Amino acid sequence: MSMNWPVFRTRAITALIFVVIMLLGLLWNEWSFFVLFSIIHAGCWIEYHQLNNRTLPRYAQLHTLFTKGLLLGGWSLSFFCYQHIITNSIFESAGTIVGGIGLVAMMIGGLLSMKAGLKSFFRASIGLIYLSLSFALLMHIRSGAIWIGDDTKQLSSIINSLVSIEAKWMPLILLCAIWINDTMAYIVGSFIGKTPLSPVSPKKTWEGTIGGIILSVFVGFLIGYYAFSPVAAKHFAAIAMIASVAGTFGDLLESKLKRLAGVKDSGSFMPGHGGFLDRFDSLLIATPFVWIYLWLMV
């Protein structure tokens, strides 16, 4: 597979703009992070419904109250997982209100959507796990609540090595691992890729996938070693490995959803990169596994 330079330039320019916006949202403060990923959460839900509309004949018969109720109910999970870092009563109450409105909307919308069929209800509800739970766990990682708040716990080696690092860096480490893996997999696959990884995504190759994972782990180790400590390097490499492998499955899952829907991209908000799901498909699957790793390390 030869390198398509015009496509690569388009992807590179839009990726640069994307990275700047992401870094501002990730690192500015706790509110910018919450707003950024709340917008991404909503965008992913919208595209998820659009894909299902193309896939299931009766999915469009789900009432808008039900689909919007799922979005709001799923969004409320982020409030509850993030309240450790934003502890004012208004924020905590907002999560309860948003969740309550979402639940009522789902109940009323469900009654108005009886003709949609169980398959449509099931496919829509899966989004709570696929989308909302993943973003809620990312909020939980950003809040630092996994390793903060229980003074009786014996801090593990990863926490001892990262305790001086602000929690805001952890999502960035996760995202960097995914970005490096995706970019290197594309470049390596373009130059030496010959063996297709899966029929679901014919352009992905084993050579590119393995190369992306190796380079992501290597960079993760270097960042941990030189920026923090040898102990941190070991765990950064582990996080990069988990994110790269799980993220690859996330990419394939979204490719399967698009193939079933008969579309090339889930959306078009980023030229050369597609929609929200196209950009964050890897993160959706990688986040729960990285969260489990961090939780087990405490």
pLDDT digits (tens, 9 = 90+) for 236-285: 999 999 999 999 999 999 999 999 999 988 877 766 667 899 999 999 99
What is the reported pLDDT for 139? 95
Alpha-carbon distance of 202 to 224, in angstroms, equals: 34
- Please name which of 274, 282, 290 lies closest in space to residue 180, comparing C-alpha atoms: 282
Q: Coil, strand, or helix at residue 204?
A: strand
Stretches where the chain sits below pLDDT 50 are 1, 150-159, 163-164
**How many other CB atoms are there within 10 angstroms of residue 129's CB atom?**
12
Name the packing angle between helices 169-192 and 134-143 (round to 10°).
130
The pTM assigned to this predicted structure is 0.90
What is the reported pLDDT for 151? 43
What are the C-alpha distances in Å from 183 to residues 78, 211, 243? Answer: 29, 10, 14
- Per-residue pLDDT tens over the stretch 173-188: 999 999 999 888 888 8
Alpha-carbon distance of 115 to 42, in angstroms, equals: 25
Torsion-angle region of 59 (φ positive above 0: left; ψ -120 to 50: alpha; else: beta): alpha
Name the packing angle between helices 30-55 and 134-143 (round to 10°).
170
